[in-house]
Amino acid sequence: MRRLILRNFQSPGDILMLTAALRDLHRCHPDQFQTDVRSSCPDFWLNNPWLTPLDEEADDVEVIDCQYPLIHRSNQEPWHFIHAFMHDLSDKLGVRITPTAFRGDLHLSDEEEAAPGPLADEFPPELPWWLIDAGGKYDYTIKWWSRRRYQEVVDRLQGRVHFVQIGETGHYHPPLRGVTDLRSRTTLRDLMRLTYHSHGVLCGVTLLMHLGAAFPPPADRWSRGGVIIAGGREPVHWEAYPGHQFLHTIGMLPCCATGGCWRSRTVPLGDGEPHDEEKHLCKDVVGGLPHCMEMISANEVVSQIERWLPGED
């Protein structure tokens, strides 16, 4: 039995995809590997049945730096992000790994599955509640939508949907009115638990969309809603999940005519990061937004969310 430590310290969305690769390594090759991980998101690995504590200094332990070069073929070939770490591990281990489920592999405790936790005591009990991430990281500002449009969505759905705003300290998460404000108040484990019990998620292409797809829907619903404001940065097939409304503009503008532009920022921030280089900046800015994001209206988002509301078309 080979003994492996899988290692990756990228963003939480990347680590969530690595959980799927670990699961499918074991499902495709049962009883052939013992595995442990080193990552930037230890909360994702709690209760994980595929882990065995291993010492990376032991002579019989292989340390694998997990990567996903498959992303560089995403505009030319029909792969999803969930395939990416699997391809890399397949090459490095000399085995074939394929997806056995179209989602990440997260494991809540019985207590976490039974209730959303004390933070949910602040939500009105009579309304379905959706998590909303109205911002993002500064390295990829091209993925941000308009704060005013997020606010319009919240305002127009008042009394029918309660929105719970989340966001990590140090990132851009402008405050919204008429929401429960949990910005900077949740651990990653809290966010996992809340997502599990939520009725839906509204966000750009970010961690929250992957969390929304990773868990089964609430017991009283056949699906968890998901409206993803994607624009034209990434190819649809690379990110979209079944059941999500993935609002994109691929093919609608010259800059994303045949695939995602994969650029980083709308305008330079002057922080010395390589994301400010000309090759990483949006080529078509309209009204302060990437044109592809400007094309997605609040009305379109409201209409998509309304389809999930009980008793509404």
Please report whether residue 108 resides in a domain. no
Check residue 164 and give its pLDDT.
98
Residue 312, pLDDT > 70, answer no
Mean pLDDT over 100-119 rounds to 96
Q: With cut-offs at 50, 70 and 90, classify the pLDDT of residue 179.
A: very high
pLDDT digits (tens, 9 = 90+) for 133-148: 999 999 999 999 999 9
pLDDT digits (tens, 9 = 90+) for 255-287: 999 999 999 999 999 999 999 999 999 999 999
Residue 313, pLDDT > 50, answer no
pLDDT digits (tens, 9 = 90+) for 195-205: 999 999 999 99
Please report whether residue 296 resides in a domain. yes
Q: What length does the chain have?
A: 313
Same domain, yes or no, for 140 and 242?
yes
Same domain, yes or no, for 46 and 159?
no
Please report whether residue 23 resides in a domain. yes
Mean pLDDT over 18-28 rounds to 98
Same domain, yes or no, for 188 and 245?
yes
Same domain, yes or no, for 153 and 299?
yes
Please report whether residue 270 resides in a domain. yes
Please report whether residue 98 resides in a domain. no
Write down which residue in 93, 125, 151 finishes a domain. Answer: 93
Write the CATH number for 150: 3.40.50.2000
Same domain, yes or no, for 74 and 137?
no
Residue where the block lists tokens 């998460």: 173
Same domain, yes or no, for 169 and 22?
no
Distance of CA 156 to the CA centre of its chain: 25
Check residue 280 and give its pLDDT.
98
Check residue 203 and give its pLDDT.
98
Please report whether residue 313 resides in a domain. no
Q: How many angstroms separate the CA atoms of 174 and 169, rounded?
A: 11
Same domain, yes or no, for 188 and 80?
no
Q: Read out DSSP for 227-294?
A: EEEEETSS-HHHH--TT-EEEE-TTSSGGGSSS-----BSS---SS-GGGSGGGB-S-EETTEEHHHH
Q: Three-state SS for 113? A: helix
Mean pLDDT over 102-112 rounds to 97
Same domain, yes or no, for 149 and 52?
no
Same domain, yes or no, for 169 and 234?
yes
Check residue 217 and give its pLDDT.
87
**What is the reported pTM?**
0.96
Please report whether residue 251 resides in a domain. yes
Same domain, yes or no, for 142 and 81?
no
Structural domain harbouring 49: 2-93
Please report whether residue 186 resides in a domain. yes
Residue 43, pLDDT > 80, answer yes
Mean pLDDT over 176-183 rounds to 98
User: How many folded domains does the chain comprise?
Assistant: 2
pLDDT digits (tens, 9 = 90+) for 193-243: 999 999 999 999 999 999 999 999 877 778 899 999 999 999 999 999 999
Same domain, yes or no, for 293 and 156?
yes
Same domain, yes or no, for 81 and 192?
no
Q: How many angstroms separate the CA atoms of 162 and 199, rounded?
A: 10
Q: Residue 51 phi/psi, 5° resolution?
A: -100, 140
